[in-house]
Structure formats: C-alpha cells, structure tokens
Chain A
Amino acid sequence: MANPYQPIEAQILKTIDETPTIRTFVLKPEQDVPFLAGQFVELTVPGHGEAPFTPSSSHFERETIEVTIMKVGRATTALFGLKAGDSVGIRGPYGQRYPLESFEGKDIYLVGGGVGLAPLRSLFLSLVHEIDKYRRVFLRYGARTPEEIVYKYLIPQWEKLKKVDIDLSVDVGDKSWVRKVGVVTCLMDDIPCDETSSIAVVCGPPVMMKFVTFKLVDAGFKPENIYLSMETNMSCGLGQCGHCRLGPYFTCKDGPVLTWEQIKDIPEPFV
C-alpha cells in the first residue's frame, strides 16, 4: 500500500515568466499524475515546504504538467529560486474533477481574476479540446494592470478558436490598453448566455469570487450551476489532516471546486 505523504520527483523542464510575480513551471513527473480538470496536486519545494496547486495545462496533455504560480510566501518564493533542470516533489491528483459530462450541450461561462486564470486554463483547454461537446465557452478575465495579465501570448490564439468568446478588463489601464477598465464584474453587465441553464465557473481572489458569485446569482444562474474554486489552507490534500475545513466540507476531498449551492449557507465562505 502506497505511502500517501510521499511525493515523487518531477523535473522542471522550463519556466515561463507570466508577470513579475507569476511564473509557469513545466514539469515532467517521473510517473504519470493523471489529473482531470478541477483536481489539484501538492508540490514540494525540497526543504521549503509543500503547497497545493491546480495544474494549468489540459488534462489531455499527459507528458508534462504545467502549473502557474504566484509568489506569495515561503514555499512559492523558494520555488521561484529553482530553474529548468531542478527537481520538485509532486503528489496527487487530489480532489474532485469538474463533472464535464453535465456541462455537455451547454454554454460555459468562465470568470477568472489574477492568477485565478491558471486553474481555469486547465478547464478551458480541456473544454476546447472537445469543443463540439459544448455549446459555447465564454471567458471573462480581469487583472490589476495589463502587465499582470497571465498568458498574454496565448489569449490572441484562444480568441480565434471557434465557439469561444473572450473579454478582458484591467483595474488600471495604460496607454496601450484598448479594452475595458474596471474590476472583472464590469465584463458581466450583459451575459450573452441563457442564465438558467448555463454553467459558470469562477476562480480568483476571495473578494472577486464573492462579487462575481453575487452577480451571477442576480443574473439568474442556478446555485448548483455556479462552480467556485475554494482555496482554503491545506496540508495533507487527502481528507485527513483537517486543515481545509469549510463548514461541513473538506475542500481537498469534497472540492476544491464546490458549487454555490453547497456553500451558500456557510457564514463567510470567501476569506
């Protein structure tokens, strides 16, 4: 029986600077880590700790796993000190996947904020990989400044994909910025899909998640169709250690994506 706390080795093949504080790491684990969109992994920065991250690559890509990470503290800062050729540890996949079969035939409305586009990218790429199964895919993304937009080099290609509709905003623009200025909810004033049957998926900082959720509910999305990526503190990722408790849930085991229906009665679910 395997030791659930033991990571395997993954080599960093390449790093991509997305913004001054966000970097994508392309990893090659020594064995397949067969995640599905929505699930997460635990990355070990040897000697500096372990932290949970949702892969940002498509789950149809099996050779490598990409994770897009913001530098915020101890483990992530140490990770930014590593370069191609270095090794990290990886455990997983953990948590629940998106129930993609119930998304079929529907409009899917993705809303991301800041580094929150990283986990959504995994879902987005997995959706467009089989785009014929879905009605349309909308992506609404907000960052603080144009410089802080992740995947700048990919978004123009994504905008050309069939059945895909993308809109972006920044809180503070600059001379070259020609799109909307304002927090991401400013992109949600008219939602071009049928709110009563469509699926919404949200990932971003807690305040953003809160206001986007309220806006979606006001717009008529059903609570059970609003999927929220809940990033609580986590230690084990296995449903054992207690750290990720959110009301009756352990987000590592029952989530990390929970629906608004599941969490709406929990006092202050977004912190």
Chain B
Amino acid sequence: MLDIREGVSSFSILVKLHFLPNSKRDRWLNVLLDQSEVYFPQILESQVHWQRLQAGGLREGDGGPEWGLEHIRASEPIKSFFFSPRERVASFPEKLEPGETGRRILFGVKNCDLLPLKVHEQMFLQGDFKDTFYEARLRNTLFIAADCPEPADTCFCNLVGRRPFAEAEADIVLTVLEDGYLLEPLSDEGEESVRTGGDAIQPATEFQAAKRAEKRRAADSKLAKINPKPWADGLAQRIWDRSGEDGFWGKHAASCVECFGCLMTCPTCYCFLLYDKARAEGMDRSKVWDACYMAAYARVGGGANPRSEFLKRFVNRFQCKFTHFKNAHGFYACSGCGRCYRACMGKIDIRDVLGEV
C-alpha cells in the first residue's frame, strides 16, 4: 500500500492506494465470489444494467460479459437491492420477521447511487422505527464505487454539489487505469476486502496516483462543461415561494403524460405503500414502491384529495426533494443521476425547471 499526499499545495489529504493489475483481476474477483454474491454493471445494447457475476463468467470479450465500470450509472437504481419494488413485509394472523440475508458486493457503484443511500438512511433508519428489512440488506452489502471518467450529457451530479467519483460513503473506490485498477479503501470492511486479494493487490505507485488525479480532473471539467451554471442560492426557498405560480410549473409540466417513469427510476425516491392482499384466511402485506405523481396518492378516506390536480403533484415532487428534504437534512434528495430525464416521454429535463425557478 502506498500512502500518497494528494491535492494542491494549500491542503493535502492522505490516501491509501492499492493497485490490482488486469492480469490478476479475476483472482481477486474469485475470492470475492467465494464470500458473496457479486453484482457488476454489464453493458447490454449500449445501456448499463446490474448483473450477477457468475463464477464461470469472468472472462471479458469473447463470450464473457462486457463490463461497464467506466460508464455512467446503470439504468436501474441500486435501491432495488435493499428496497425491492415489491416485498412481503407482514402477514396476519401469523407474524412475519425479516429473513436471513446473504452477503452482497456491488462492484462498480457510481457516486450518484451513493447519495440515495443517505436519503434512505434518513427515511428508513434514523427515525423512531427502523425498516428492519432494508437495514439487514444494507448492512450486509459491500460497496465498491467506480469513477466516472465520461459523464453523459444527462449527468448533473456537480449541480448537487458532488463529483463524478466517490470520496466517501463506499467501502472501496476504484479507478480504471490502462493496465489495471486503483483501489482506495474508504472503510474498515473495504480495507479487509482489499487484504483478501493477497499479493494480487500491490501498493500503487506515485505515477498511478497522479494518473488518477488527472483522470478525475478531466471528468470534473467535462461535467463543468455539461452543466456550467450552478443553481442560484436559495433554491429550496424559491421552490416553496413559487409553489402557487401555476404558469411557471404548468409550462414545465406541459409535456408530462403521467407515466410516472421519472419516479419509478429515481434512486432517491423512497415512497411506498403497504398493500394488503386477502388469503383464504388472513392476509399478506407487501411494501410496494409508490409515486407521489399518482392521482390517488394523497386521497383520504371518503375521497377528498389535497392534490387532485396534476400540477399540485408536479410541484410537490420538487418541494419534497429540493425544499423539505434539504431543510430537514441539509442536502437535496436528488443525486443528479439524470435518470428521470432519460425516462421522460415528454423530455422534461429537471435541470430546466431547477435552473429557471
């Protein structure tokens, strides 16, 4: 391991960097596969999707899966690993408790998929009542983040104050170099996991560390070109203050067809519904993803609905993510991943709304 002082002259931070040469990659992956289920970003028809890595399927190129470590985030948000779209969480009259969960490694998570974990931590784990199903899976997962050297034009993590690579929140952060991978452990479990690589993983050199810094700088400047203009200060308050301006919101919502794709694909959205299904005797209760754009979302018993008009639901989404969550927890419930824009049939770019409000 090499301790490297990284940064400009005014301040420097100590980083511990390791190097895994390409030729030894599979040795380490096999060790990981022995201990855990490993999931990796696979390129399928030019999109990235999470796939389970099979022990026999390590070979790249001919017949093997094409890895997308340097691509932007996968199409699916990683929340599905902990907070499934539909999961049985209770039953009656007999009682249900969370089952055992196996250990998992998510190999190649992007920084914009780490922020949602902080959002869900606030919603599911920090209150008086914990989502024990979520917690069991989260605590049994190792996160290996991967830098984004090529941000896409849908990416705007820089606008929410983040960078195209992880600096915390993961267990290990990985940078792809030509001849191998740089690994920086960010947690004790990360260190431990790197150690399991044995002599396949060596200390990194100054040159390799400099290479990483250079790649990261280039990625930062690409993002700065894609999104040159930061949001003006006071975004949270402006959204709240303008909530009644139907003209402004209506203009942006005009092409929405209410497919809810934006919310279903959003990594930070946490809404769910407890849905009971009758059995011959008793019931099963599922926790299913829900979306605040749905008309019945806020409807109360007897039929009254505070957000019966779509425009109110449209504004509510912005207030939830950018006003209330920010005021309560100090950061936006948006990671800048751009999935909502990608999913939108009406081509609504959330950046247009936020840049103009």
Which A residues have a C-beta under 8 Å from some C-beta of B?
A: 1-9, 44, 46-51, 72-73, 76, 87, 89, 206, 231-233, 235-236, 238-243, 245, 247-248, 253, 267-268, 271
Contact = CB atoms under 8 A, between A and B. Distances in A.
Contacts of A46: 92-93, 276, 278, 282-283
B282 A47 contact: yes
A236 B92 contact: no
Contact of A243 (B124, B135, B298): B298
Contacts of A236: 272, 274
A5 B89 contact: yes
A206 B300 CA distance: 11
Q: In terms of DSSP, what is the predominant structure of the interface of chain A?
A: loop
Nearest to A238: B129
A190 B324 CA distance: 39
Contacts of A7: 90, 92
B277 interface: yes
B168 interface: no
Interface string B130-145: 1111010000000000
Contacts of A48: 276, 278
Contacts of B124: 240
Given A240-B131, A271-B304, 6 more contacts: A6-B90, A8-B95, A46-B92, A240-B129, A241-B273, A241-B290
B202 interface: no
B327 A248 contact: yes
Top 8 A-B pairs ranked by shortest CB distance?
A47-B278, A271-B306, A242-B271, A72-B302, A238-B129, A4-B129, A5-B89, A6-B90
A233 B300 contact: yes
B305 interface: yes
A51 B282 CA distance: 16
Nearest to A73: B301
Contacts of A9: 92-93
Given A44-B283, A232-B300, A243 B123 contact: no
B287 interface: yes
B288 to A, nearest CB: 10
Contacts of A247: 324
A6 B95 contact: yes
Q: Which of A44, A72, A242 counts the most chain B CB atoms within 10 A?
A: A242
A3 B274 CA distance: 13
A5 B87 CA distance: 12
Contact of B127 (A235, A253, A271): A253
A7 B92 CA distance: 7
A4 B290 contact: no
Contacts of A72: 301-302
Contact of A5 (B285, B297, B323): B285
B305 A271 contact: yes
Contact of B271 (A4, A89, A243): A243
B107 to A, nearest CB: 29
A89 B301 contact: no
A249 B256 CA distance: 27
Given A3-B96, A6-B90, A268-B306, A240 B270 contact: yes
Given A5-B274, A240-B270, A245 B324 contact: yes
Contacts of B97: 3, 6
B272 A241 contact: yes
A3 B324 CA distance: 27
Contacts of B327: 248
A243 B290 contact: yes
Contacts of A268: 306
A50 B278 CA distance: 12
A64 to B, nearest CB: 19
9 contacts: A5-B89, A5-B90, A5-B285, A6-B95, A8-B95, A50-B276, A235-B274, A236-B274, A238-B129
Nearest to B287: A5
Contacts of A267: 243-244
A231 to B, nearest CB: 6
Interface string B248-283: 000000000000000000000011111011110011
A7 to B, nearest CB: 6
A32 to B, nearest CB: 17
Nearest to A270: B306
A96 to B, nearest CB: 11
A92 to B, nearest CB: 10
Nearest to B270: A242
Given A47-B278, A253-B127, A87 B93 contact: yes
Nearest to B243: A267
B320 interface: yes
Q: Which of B279, B282, B323 counts the most chain A CB atoms within 10 A?
A: B282
A47 B283 contact: yes
Contacts of B13: none
B14 interface: no
A242 B301 contact: no
Contacts of B297: 233, 243
A51 B302 CA distance: 12
A6 B93 contact: no
A245 B306 CA distance: 11
Contacts of A231: 300
A75 B97 CA distance: 24
B130 A1 contact: yes
Contacts of B95: 3, 6, 8
B350 to A, nearest CB: 18
Interface string B284-301: 010100101000011111
B300 A44 contact: no
Contacts of B90: 3, 5-7
Contacts of B133: 3
B316 interface: yes
